[in-house]
């Protein structure tokens, strides 16, 4: 008889089958504990197990040490085979060793880290302060399928390389989310809300800018725009009038043609994407107002002074247009409401675009107060947190003392007179 036949003849008995079954469970267990509990229901079982294990057995059960059982089989039985070999012979199948969850998690973490680090390094982003916490988050919570990990890592790194991720810098130009996805993400919809690539990129962007991860569509839009990305290239518009475009191309002629028709232009990011590099001559004075009512009045009166309306807080397209005009050497002059929001807008345009004030000094506010009083105009109460006016520190103090807000419509006639005579 062969050794295998002898082993089956000696150890494949009813009294030992519980021992072998429990031993196999342990060897195939992902955790592989060092010992296991074995029931000993009768004297025959206690005697058989005791002979194999090398010590007498008492009671209804005992604890078996796996390592000791393996050593006993190898060194103190006539077959000289280890536990795994004995079980494979008795059960006629190999031990199915399963990786422990801890080891599997460690291997997964190492693979995620290696793949992400390599993708970031290719874009010179691996040493950014947000990179390591982003990789840790993606391993724990990113929910990226193993089959997609390589492509998602590569595409995410390509997208991140094109974002404004320095919280100390504001975007000067914007790209639409669909265009960015098409360039870097393998398809125009890959960065749409709900897509895996969008989720992992926005987490990196939030870490880079030190903000909470976006929880709704409004927060996602705000974070995208903070990084220089618009959700689309057509919804945001810049309301313009009489821009003296210098280009001879069809687009420039089209915008000038609207002025000839007495119509303002609503420029989008798509417009600026096809516009010529230079828009206006250096030294061109461009008025900037806060409320569309001012631009409407200029159009109605046929006053062809270049005018851009920010319509409240400047949108991405307004910001990009003003940057383009400033880069051409245009002189930007801003007027807005005399309230804290108006001063905040004016300060932002002053800081980021070099836009000088247009009738936005303390003397102008005082004159507008007197005008409103003489014309019996009811002025709204000034509310909110005070804002600074670096071009005239006296202005916020005077506004706080007077406690009244003055909208652009109150001084509309003065603004139109300035546009007729020029702001230069």
β partners of residue 35: 65
pLDDT at 423: 85
β partners of residue 338: 406
Where in the chain do CATH 3.40.1360 domains reside?
238-421
Q: What CATH code is assigned to 238-421?
A: 3.40.1360
Question: Does pTM top 0.85 for this prediction?
Answer: no
CA distance linking residue 28 with residue 100, whole number of Å: 10
pLDDT digits (tens, 9 = 90+) for 287-302: 999 999 999 999 999 9
Whether the per-residue pLDDT at 129 is higher than 80: the answer is yes
| Structure-token match 């220089």, residue found | 228
pLDDT at 100: 52
Q: Is 283 left (phi over 0), alpha (psi -120 to 50) or beta?
A: left
Whether the per-residue pLDDT at 102 is higher than 70: the answer is no
Least trusted range by pLDDT, from 29-33, 129-133, 157-161, 306-310: 29-33
pLDDT at 215: 87
Work out the pLDDT band at 107, boundaries 50, 70, 90: low
Q: What is the DSSP string of 143-179?
A: ---GGGHHHHHHHHHHHHTTS---TT---SS-EEHHH
CB of 308 closer than 8 Å to CB of 292 = no
Work out the pLDDT band at 106, boundaries 50, 70, 90: low
Phi, psi of 25 (to 5 degrees): -55, -40
């Amino acid at each position: 008889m062969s050794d295998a036949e002898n082993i089956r003849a000696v150890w494949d008995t009813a009294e030992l089958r519980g021992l072998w079954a429990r031993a196999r469970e342990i060897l195939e267990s992902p955790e592989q504990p060092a010992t296991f509990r074995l029931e000993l229901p009768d004297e025959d079982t206690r005697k058989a197990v005791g002979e194999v294990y090398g010590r007498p057995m008492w009671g209804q059960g005992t604890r078996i040490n796996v390592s000791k059982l393996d050593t006993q089989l190898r060194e103190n039985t006539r077959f000289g085979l280890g536990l795994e070999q004995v079980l494979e012979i008795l059960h006629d199948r190999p031990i199915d060793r399963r990786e422990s969850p801890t080891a599997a998690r460690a291997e997964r973490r190492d693979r995620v880290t290696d793949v992400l680090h390599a993708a970031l390094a290719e874009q010179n982003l691996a040493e950014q302060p947000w990179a390591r916490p982003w990789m840790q988050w993606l391993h724990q919570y990113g929910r990226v399928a193993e089959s997609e990990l390589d492509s998602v890592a590569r595409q995410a790194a390509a997208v991140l390389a094109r974002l404004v991720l320095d919280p100390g810098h504001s975007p000067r130009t914007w790209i639409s989310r669909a265009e960015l996805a098409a360039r870097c993400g393998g398809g125009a919809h890959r960065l749409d809300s709900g897509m895996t690539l969008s989720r992992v990129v926005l987490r990196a962007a939030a870490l880079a800018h030190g903000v909470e991860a976006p929880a709704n569509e409004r927060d996602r839009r705000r974070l995208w725009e903070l990084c220089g990305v618009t959700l689309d290239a057509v919804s945001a518009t810049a309301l313009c009038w009489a821009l003296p475009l210098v280009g001879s191309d069809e687009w420039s002629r089209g915008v000038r043609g609207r002025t000839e028709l007495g119509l303002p232009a609503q420029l989008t990011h798509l417009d600026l994407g096809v516009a010529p590099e230079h828009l206006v001559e250096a030294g061109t004075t461009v008025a900037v107002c806060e409320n569309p009512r001012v631009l409407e009045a200029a159009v109605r009166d046929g006053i062809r002074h270049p005018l851009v309306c920010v319509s409240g807080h400047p949108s991405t397209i307004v910001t990009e247009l003003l940057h383009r005009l400033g880069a051409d050497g245009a002189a930007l002059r801003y007027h807005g409401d005399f309230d804290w929001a108006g001063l905040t807008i004016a300060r932002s345009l002053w800081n980021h675009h070099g836009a000088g004030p247009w009738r936005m000094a303390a003397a102008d506010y005082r004159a507008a107060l007197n005008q409103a009083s003489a014309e019996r105009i009811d002025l709204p109460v000034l509310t909110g947190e005070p804002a600074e006016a670096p071009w005239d520190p006296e202005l916020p103090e005077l506004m706080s003392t007077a406690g009244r807000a003055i909208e652009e419509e109150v001084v509309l006639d003065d603004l139109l007179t300035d546009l007729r005579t020029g702001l230069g």
